[in-house]
Amino acid sequence: MSALLRLLLVLLPWGLRRPLLVRCYGYRLHSGSRIGLAWVFPRELVLERGARIGHFTVVKGLERLTLGEQASIGRLNWISAFPRGTGSRHFAHLPDRKPELLVGEHAAITHRHIIDCTERVIVGRFATVAGYRSQILTHSIDLERCRQHAEPVSIGDYCFVGTACTILGGAALPSHSVLGAHSMLNKAYAEPYRLYGGVPAAPVRELGRGVEYFRREQGFVT
C-alpha cells in the first residue's frame, strides 16, 4: 500500500482506522486496543486487550510487533529494523534473524526511546523501559569480519530500565532486575534480583524478593 494511503489511514479516527487495518493488513487488533496518531506498519501486528501505542511513534521495517494485554508503547518512540528479503548483502550470514519486537503483558516502553529491532527484542511481562532517551541497538559492525552483524536483546519479566540507558545486541537483563540510569548493558546476565549499573553494566547489589515493584499485579504504577 502506498505511503499516501498509509498517511490517510494514520489520520483517521481510531474507530474507523482499526477495522480498516484489520481488513487491509490482516492485523489482530483487539477492540479494546488503541493506536494514536502514529506510523505503525509492521508486516504483522498483534495488540491484545488494553494494549496501546501513543502519538507520534514510528514503527517501520519490522516483520512482527506484538503487545500483550495492557502493554503500552508511549509517545515519540522510533522503532525500526533492517528488513529481510531486500536482496541486500547486509546480514546475509543471518538468514534466520527475526526483525521483531515482542512486548509482554502489562509491560511498558515510555517516551522518546530508540529501538533497533534488526534482530529480535523481547520486553518481558510487567517490565518497564522507563524515562527518556534509552537506546536498544541489536546491530553493529563486526570489526573483525568487517560486516554488519545482529544479535537479539532480552529484557526479563518485572525488569526496570532506568532513563538514558544503552542496551547492545546480545545483552540480556534477567527477570526481577534493575538497570540503573545512564548504564550500558553489553552482555547477557543470568542472576535475577540484582541492580546492574555502570559503563559497562555489572552487578552492583542484590535486591530483595519482597520489593513491591516485583510483585505487582497491574503494570501501571500510580
Residues 3-7 have a mean pLDDT of 91
Q: What residue ranges do the domains of the chain occupy?
A: 27-83+94-215
Query: Model pTM?
Result: 0.96
Q: To the nearest whole number, what is the mean pLDDT of the chain?
A: 97
Helix, strand, coil abundance in the chain, percent, nearest 5: 10, 35, 55
Please tell me the distance from the alpha carbon of residue 108 to that of residue 106, in angstroms, as a whole number. Answer: 7
Residue 1 has pLDDT above 80, yes or no: no
Q: Where are the beta strands (DSSP E) in 69-179?
A: 72-73, 78-80, 100-103, 108-109, 114-116, 121-123, 128-129, 135-137, 139-142, 147-150, 153-155, 160-161, 166-168, 172-173, 178-179
Residue 162 has pLDDT above 80, yes or no: yes
C-alpha 59 chain-centroid distance: 10
Please tell me the distance from the alpha carbon of residue 72 to that of residue 191, in angstroms, as a whole number. Answer: 27
H-state helical runs in the chain = 3-11, 14-25
How do residues 48-66 score in pLDDT, each as one tens digit? 999 999 999 999 999 999 9
Please tell me the distance from the alpha carbon of residue 77 to that of residue 7, in angstroms, as a whole number. Answer: 18
pLDDT for 85: 86
CATH domain 27-83+94-215 topology: UDP N-Acetylglucosamine Acyltransferase; domain 1 (2.160.10)
Q: Which three cell numbers stand for residue 144?
A: 573483525
Nearest by Cα to 84 from 113, 108, 64, 112: 64
